[in-house]
A and B are shown apart, each in its own frame.
Chain A
Amino acid sequence: MSNSLYYTLALICVIGIIWGIRLMNSPKTAISGNLLGAISLSITVILTLLKYGILSDYVLWAGMIAGGLIGYYISIKVTMLKIPQMVALFNGLGGGASGLVAIIILAENHNIENLFIKITAVLGLIVGWVTFSGSIVAALKLDQKISQKPIQLKKHNLIIGISSALTCIIAILLIIKSSGSLLFLTLLLLANSSIWGIILTIRVGGADMPITISLLNSLSGVAGAVTGLAIYDPVLVAVGGIVGAAGLILTQVMCKAMNRSLTSILIGKTAVAYGKNDSDKAGVAFAENDINREKAIKQESEEEKIKRIIEEAKSIVIIPGYGMALAQAQYIVKGLYEKLTDEGKEVKFAIHPVAGRMPGHMNVLLAEADIPYDSLFELDDINDEFSSTDLVIVVGANDVINPAANTAEGTPIYGMPILNAHLAKNIIIFNKDTNPGYAGVQNTLYELDKVILKLGDAKDTISEVFGV
């Protein structure tokens, strides 16, 4: 295959991939966008095999078929609830693959003359393995194989400092070493980068996971792009750059939605929130909670009141949270949605950007239950409507409606934009218990008089109250 033909076709594929992402901007065209991306990527694989004359290398095909089957199997088995950890795992594999390619480049070439190749390969190795180990930690945390709470080692910052310094030193040694095998230094750098990834992610709290996955997603793209520079592959560089940009945008979106800065997450600020700062407040809230619980019991006998509220309500907003998904209550929520709509009420869903465990997770969970996506509204689009809403139904959501976010300084959720559920006329909350949410802050919403708490399994409590 001639060079000019290869570059022309490769350019078309890259445009195909970018066009595919463009089609992702609407649910109607997104499926074709995804297919376009998949086809374009497959063509780049064939093009590369042709260009290097390795189309008939059976070892390569064996690897591709094995990987393809494993990937396909995981993708049909995974539940929508577990998508975040799967994305984290895949992400790690992508980063790991880039890291492995960088190792091969360094290990195969005893005397790389070209400084550009050396620098990019070393960078690819570092970014690739940080992505790999960091993503695996993130996946394990999301899957609750290891504690979701931030794990703070003794002298954590010192360890990070030493590990960062070591990584830099080994990288420089590798780059300036002009003769002999690079294997030993390469393996040393591999070990160091992996440890670096682990200690950076291990102290990120569960609530900050959406941001962490977005960032790792970006890094896996960067790892690919940098490796692409090392082997002079323009397609790899181009697509890696696109993925890097995508991850960066999602990271920005998430940070804004939680009012957190990226640095404060990476330096483990979440850990502070569990400290002294808010323990007093939490104590008070606990005491108030007991009163609340009594109130909740009293109100359970006020079935009449609940009935009246539901009957009178014309505009209803449902706020789903991760708790709904954990209780597998999305199907009963769908039933509830249909019942209320059939009764002629206006029903909307309010989706907080961080509802769920990754950006947009809640939308997928509701879509799985066949809830039409045009009834799902984002925070900015619905927050002004709460003051004129008759009834808010909360299902398994906590932090995202906690008014303490506006007032409780020093807590992890302070300053986070919330759904203004407290402005609605009436509020019914279907939560498992009144324990603090993921962020560990007591919910002051529970103390309001207009709130009716229904504690227990959302599936049972919803069918009990609404008869669906």
Chain B
Amino acid sequence: MKAYYLIIVFVVTTIAGYKVIKDVPSLLHTPLMSGMNALSGITILGALVSTAAAVRTGSKILGVVAIIFAMVNVAGGFCVTHRMLKMFKNQPEEE
């Protein structure tokens, strides 16, 4: 994949993201943010690839640390977002 394709991907998704996120009401901004937070753990992909390819022991260790960091971010982020969203109810009687 050529470098400029990647830059096009970056620009297109940033605009698409901007459009969908603008529609999220401020009522849900905290769950949105922690959801986005979980998504920023997508860097796990980079951590996995570079750890697997690393030859030096030092790099390997750093790589595993990166995987742990990113995974805490992903798992924790999605779980806590789920926890929060479950609390938003319209009629409390429906419990």
Contact = CB atoms under 8 A, between A and B. Distances in A.
Contacts, number: 375
A368 B49 CA distance: 40
A4 B65 CA distance: 31
14 contacts: A34-B31, A59-B60, A63-B47, A63-B71, A74-B72, A83-B34, A90-B77, A93-B72, A101-B66, A217-B40, A241-B17, A243-B37, A246-B21, A373-B89
Interface centre among A60, A70, A90, A351 (most CB of B within 10 A): A90
A223 B71 CA distance: 16
A14 interface: yes
Interface of B: 1, 3, 5-7, 9-11, 13-18, 20-56, 58-60, 62-92, 95
A94 B26 contact: no
A74 B63 CA distance: 22
Contact of A71 (B40, B74, B91): B74
B22 A249 contact: yes
The 8 A-B residue pairs with the shortest CB-CB distance in the complex, in nearest-first order? A67-B71, A360-B29, A71-B76, A242-B17, A71-B75, A63-B67, A75-B79, A100-B66
B52 to A, nearest CB: 4
Contacts of A108: 50, 53-56, 59
B21 A249 contact: yes
B56 A107 contact: yes
Contacts of A97: 41, 43-44, 46-47, 66-67, 69-70, 73
Contacts of B54: 104, 108
B17 A372 contact: no
Given A67-B71, A240-B42, A363-B27, A48 B49 contact: yes
Interface stretch (A228-236, A429-437, A456-464): A228-236
B40 A105 contact: no
Given A18-B16, A237-B10, A86 B43 contact: no
A49 B34 CA distance: 26
B92 A245 contact: no
A96 B70 CA distance: 8
B20 A21 contact: yes
A96 B29 contact: no
B21 A232 contact: no
B79 A35 contact: no
B51 A90 contact: no
A245 B18 contact: yes
Given A27-B88, A83-B34, A229 B3 contact: yes
A359 B27 contact: no
A373 B88 contact: yes
Contacts of B15: 245
Given A18-B16, A67-B70, A78-B80, 19 more contacts: A38-B78, A48-B45, A54-B52, A57-B52, A63-B63, A68-B74, A71-B73, A71-B76, A74-B72, A76-B83, A90-B34, A94-B70, A103-B62, A233-B46, A235-B42, A248-B18, A363-B29, A368-B87, A373-B90
B77 A367 contact: no
Interface string A190-226: 0000000000000000000000011001001101110
